[in-house]
Structure 1
Amino acid sequence: MESNSFNPAEIALQPYPTAPERLTPGTHINAALLWKRDDGSEAGAIWEMTPGVLEGVQGNESFVIVSGRARVDFPDGRVLEFAPGDAGVLAPGDTCRWTTLETIRKVVVHRMS
């Protein structure tokens, strides 16, 4: 891993493979890997999703919303809402549903273990 800087709004993204049964038809997810620790324990990325629903999201990440709005629903009834500038944490072991209300772009740090 090398020190670097970037503008998350300008990073070019590529399609992010997602099982179609987890995603509202017509919804698209794109991403770009920014960095990965040499030991593979953590990675940083830009992630973007058009309006729709993504089911079965697994926790273990921290993120900051760059643009758009979304809601995250948990099976126990908790609901988190996110807009530009908001930061969030999805705890390891949490499973949730991610609903994008306006195309959302986030900078995410994901723990691999």
Structure 2
Amino acid sequence: MITIYHNPRCSKSREGLQLLELEGKPFTTVKYLNEPLTKEELTEIINKLNIKPIDLVRQKEDIWVKNYKDKDLSDGKVIDIMVEYPNLIERPIVVNGNKAVIARPAERIKEIL
């Protein structure tokens, strides 16, 4: 099953959702700002993305800049911060089985379909 972790207020996220709709494959939408991810769920997504947790952080967001920028944080702490502040999570994320992409640009979704 394909899942998109979506923020409706984000234009890139809306583009990803539109691409999935055009592909015509069934998918699930998770509005992660309304349905917060657990640490376990976020860790699983990061593993599927095959990236370090810091690579999923929107590092220009005020919360990050004011509180965490230039601090030496463990991977676990970075995940904890994203769980606490889900708006720091880069979007959209699309997961298909054991594969995942940060769909920026939206065409990256085709890599895992």
TM-score range for the pair, normalised by the shorter chain length: under 0.3
TM-score by length of 2: 0.28
Q: Which has the higher helix share?
A: 2
| Higher RCO (C-alpha under 8 Å, 6+ residues apart) | 2
TM-score by structure 1 length?
Answer: 0.28
